[in-house]
Amino acid sequence: MMMLEVRGLCAFYGQSQALHGLDFALAEGGIVTLLGANGAGKTTTLRALCGMVRMTGEISFDGKPIAGRATEDIVRLGVAHVPEGRGTFTRMTVEENLQLGAMARGDRAAIAADLEEVYGEFPQLKKRRRQQAGTLSGGEQQMLAVGRALMLRPRLMLLDEPSFGLAPLIVAELFGILRRLNQRRRVAMLIVEQNAALALDLAEHAYLIETGRIVMGGPAPEIAKDEAVRRSYLGY
């Protein structure tokens, strides 16, 4: 059984329809990427999965239907969303941000240990634990967003443009961390990226979205070889 199954997903902003019947799936511990140009509907897809936009269609997580449920209830099932713009609580400290990530958990005793683990993963965050999160650099804020998501002990992470606005070296470091998290903790990931080369390298499966529809889907290496994808998204 797939961990996440989406069938006929449509999403709406007021009168206008942004998604027109998306079907895709994600296996337990797998990594899937959604590729597409600006405005294709990638971010909307992630927002629809979390109940943040008006939507129709079926979404099941671990076999349970989650379509139409409140965002906070979906999060409590172990779905951590790292939103575009990172969703940092800028006026709170780094440590408070991380603690907020664990807010939905019941096992309070384990939270302190997880905090140390996140600090182990991101040593820069430990150095800045008492600093206001808004004063961090872009790369550090992205690390903080991933760290905050990890504090949920998520089973599935939704990552929206994790490479956005970061220097190439930082991007490489971040994607290395994501790969390691996936291998060590079996955290499944659904990644939206404009940097297609990077995403296709990390993911096992890829879907291509154009104007709210999936126009192509398959194993990442095959998608990477496709003529049209190469010319439009990989640039060679």
Among 5, 23, 96, 201, binds other proteins (CB under 8 A): 96
Nearest CB to other proteins, comparing residues 83 and 162 = 83
Q: Is 116 helix (H, G, I), strand (E, B) or coil?
A: helix
Nearest CB to other proteins, comparing residues 72 and 228 = 72
Give the β-pairing of 205-210 and 31-35.
parallel
Give the contact letters, 76-95, x = binds to other proteins (CB under 8 A), - = no. Answer: x---xx-x---xxx-xx---
Show contacts with other proteins in window 57-76 (CB under 8 A).
70-72, 75-76
Q: By CB under 8 A, is residue 154 in contact with other proteins?
A: no
Q: Could you give the CA distance from residue 193 to residue 182 in angstroms, rounded to a whole number? A: 17
Nearest CB to other proteins, comparing residues 47 and 128 = 47
Nearest CB to other proteins, comparing residues 62 and 226 = 62
- The stretch near other proteins (CB under 8 A) out of 59-67, 97-105, 164-172, 227-235 is 97-105
Nearest to 83 by CA among 45, 37, 115, 114: 45
Nearest CB to other proteins, comparing residues 160 and 193 = 160
For 118, the token pair is: 């996140």
Q: Could you give the CA distance from residue 113 to residue 120 in angstroms, rounded to a whole number? A: 11
Nearest CB to other proteins, comparing residues 67 and 200 = 67
Q: By CB under 8 A, is residue 152 in contact with other proteins?
A: yes
CB of 106 to other proteins, least distance (A): 11
Q: Is 215 helix (H, G, I), strand (E, B) or coil?
A: strand
Contacts of 27 (CB under 8 A, 6+ apart): 2, 3, 188, 204
Q: By CB under 8 A, is residue 101 in contact with other proteins?
A: yes
CB-based contact 173:166 (threshold 8 Å): no
* 133 half-sphere exposure, CB direction, 13 A CA radius: 22
**Residue 112 CB burial class (10 angstroms; 0-12, 13-18, ≥19):** exposed
Q: By CB under 8 A, is residue 50 in contact with other proteins?
A: yes
- Sign of the CA dihedral running 112, 31, 179, 35: negative
Q: By CB under 8 A, is residue 164 in contact with other proteins?
A: no
Binding site for other proteins (CB under 8 A): 50, 52, 70-72, 75-76, 80-81, 83, 87-89, 91-92, 96, 99-101, 103-104, 108, 148, 152
